[in-house]
């Protein structure tokens, strides 16, 4: 996932913040002298107008880009709040999950109903912008849960523990593409924090720094719930292994974006990233424990959307022909 937070990602954030700045200064004539008063009264209506400005002036056609804009604006206002700039009306709407006063529901509805924007999914595979948003939201959720509850409170508040576990698993799947039902095979001693190496499905991988830190925090909390005989890395609040169905994870994902994110979409995203960097099909299948159908969907998606991959793929096949070196 560290590749996702690359220069391309930074450019994407800057583009959206620049559009918001232009909306404020060019359309609404907000200046350095007036912006604090303006922000003090800013609400969801204004963000809807800013989103419309972004779509119109940047010729945005995908729902994915619009959803990313929604998340970037939220992060921006979370940031300026920490600087002491007041925007209480809007900040309050971030924590409301549904209804007319919910930032997420209002902006999602506007995006869904905008005829200029095309379907956000392709073959059930999320885009990089969508993956970035999910990662950012998971990071916010994990940080808030860790700060909110001490270890004893986690034991009393099953929902908080379940949400913490779910957000970490979501990030883990986005990184590994691991089939959900295979998660129970991972044991605590498969993870070496000294080397940051995780043994998974017969492979040794290096965890991204932030995910590794979050799993370390989770393990400290996990100890309060764990049956000593249960060495599974991911366990439920009652100390038992997570179910082979992903219903609890699907429930957590229902609060992400427009509520249509599914576990399989996270898996496919991870596999698409692996295919894009030419990881072998058999390695991907044995590492992630996913089926031929999942792999084929991902391969076709990359083949259709990545011309550089098509060229590499064709060249590799041409060079593998037995008479290539004879010509």
Give me the residue spans of the domains in the chain: 1-120, 268-326
Binned at pLDDT 50, 70 and 90, residue 3 comes out as very low
Distance of CA 1 to the CA centre of its chain: 10
Which residues pair with residue 199 across a beta bridge? 204
Q: What Å distances lie between residue 62 and 35, 65, 66, 117, 222, CA to CA?
A: 30, 6, 7, 5, 40
Average the pLDDT over 177-192 and give the result.
90
| Measured distance between the N- and C-terminal CA atoms of the chain, rounded to whole angstroms | 42
Name the β-bridge partners of 198.
191, 205
Please give the pLDDT value at position 5. 41
CA–CA dist 6, 167 (Å, integer): 22
Most confident of 37-51, 181-195, 215-229, 251-265: 37-51
Residue 242 contacts residue 218 (beta carbons within 8 Å): no
Backbone angles phi, psi at 35, to 5 degrees: -65, -35
> What token pair was written down for 256?
């992400």
Q: What is the pLDDT of residue 325?
A: 78
d(CA 268, CA 279): 14
Helices (H) and strands (E) in the chain, counts: 15, 3
pLDDT, mean of residues 240-263: 76
Cα 115 from Cα 122, distance rounded (Å): 18
Q: Please name the residue that has the structure tokens 């010509």.
A: 327
Percent of the chain with pLDDT strictly greater than 90: 44
Confidence category of residue 1, pLDDT binned at 50, 70, 90: very low
Handedness of CA 132, 135, 136, 137 (dihedral sign): positive
pLDDT of residue 126: 87
pLDDT digits (tens, 9 = 90+) for 81-131: 888 999 999 999 998 878 899 998 899 899 989 998 876 555 578 888 888
> pLDDT band for position 15 (50/70/90)?
confident
- DSSP-assigned beta bridge partners for residue 204: 199
What is the rounded CA–CA span in Å between residue 178 and residue 266?
9
pLDDT tier for residue 159 given thresholds of 50, 70 and 90: confident
Least confident of 42-46, 131-135, 238-242: 238-242
CA distance 186 to 215: 13
Q: Using one digit for the tens of pLDDT, what is the confidence trace for 265-313?
A: 999 999 999 999 889 999 999 999 999 989 998 998 888 888 888 888 7
269, 320, 321: which is closest to 298 by C-alpha? 269
Could you tell me the CA-to-CA distances from 24 to 18, 30, 49, 120 in Å, in that order?
A: 10, 5, 10, 27
So what's the pLDDT on residue 320?
A: 80
DSSP state of 188: G
d(CA 317, CA 327) in angstroms, rounded, equals 15
Query: Using CA atoms, how far apart are residues 311 and 319, in angstroms rounded to an integer?
Result: 12
3 state DSSP class of 83: coil
* Measured distance CA(257)–CA(135) in Å, rounded: 12
Contact of 63 with 43, CB cutoff 8 Å: no
DSSP single-letter state for residue 303? H
Per-residue pLDDT, averaged over 36-62, amounts to 94
Q: What three-state secondary structure class fits 203?
A: strand
| Residues with Cβ within 8 Å of residue 156, at least 6 apart in sequence | none
Q: What is the average pLDDT score of the chain? A: 85
- Over residues 49-55, the mean pLDDT reads 96
- Lay out the sheet containing 197-200: strands in order across: 191-192, 197-200, 203-206
């Amino acid at each position: 996932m560290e590749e996702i937070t690359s220069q391309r990602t930074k450019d994407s954030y800057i583009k959206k913040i620049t559009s918001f700045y232009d909306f404020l200064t060019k359309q609404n004539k907000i200046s350095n002298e007036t912006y604090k008063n303006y922000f003090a009264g800013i609400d969801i209506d204004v963000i809807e107008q800013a989103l419309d400005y972004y779509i119109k002036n940047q010729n945005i056609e995908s729902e994915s880009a619009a959803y990313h804009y929604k998340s970037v604006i939220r992060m921006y206002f979370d940031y300026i709040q920490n600087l002491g700039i007041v925007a209480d009306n809007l900040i309050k709407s971030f924590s409301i999950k549904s209804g007319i006063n919910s930032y997420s529901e209002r902006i999602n509805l506007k995006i869904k109903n905008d005829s200029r924007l095309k379907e956000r999914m392709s073959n059930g595979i999320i885009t990089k912008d969508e993956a970035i948003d999910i990662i950012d939201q998971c990071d916010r959720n994990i940080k808030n849960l860790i700060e909110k509850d001490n270890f004893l409170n986690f034991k009393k508040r099953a929902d908080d523990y379940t949400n913490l576990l779910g957000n970490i698993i979501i990030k883990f799947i986005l990184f590994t593409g691991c089939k959900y039902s295979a998660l129970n095979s991972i044991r605590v001693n498969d993870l070496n924090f000294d080397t940051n190496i995780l043994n998974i499905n017969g492979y040794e991988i290096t965890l991204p720094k932030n995910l590794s830190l979050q799993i370390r925090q989770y393990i400290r909390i996990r100890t309060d719930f764990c049956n000593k005989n249960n060495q599974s890395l991911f366990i439920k609040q009652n100390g038992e292994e997570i179910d082979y169905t992903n219903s609890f994870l699907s429930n957590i994902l229902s609060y992400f974006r427009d509520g249509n994110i599914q576990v399989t979409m996270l898996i496919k995203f991870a596999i698409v990233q692996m295919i894009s960097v030419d990881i072998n099909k058999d390695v991907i299948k044995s590492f992630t424990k996913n089926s031929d159908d999942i792999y084929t969907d991902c391969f076709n998606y990359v083949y259709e959307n990545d011309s550089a991959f098509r060229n590499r793929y064709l060249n590799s096949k041409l060079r593998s022909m037995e008479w290539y070196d004879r010509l």
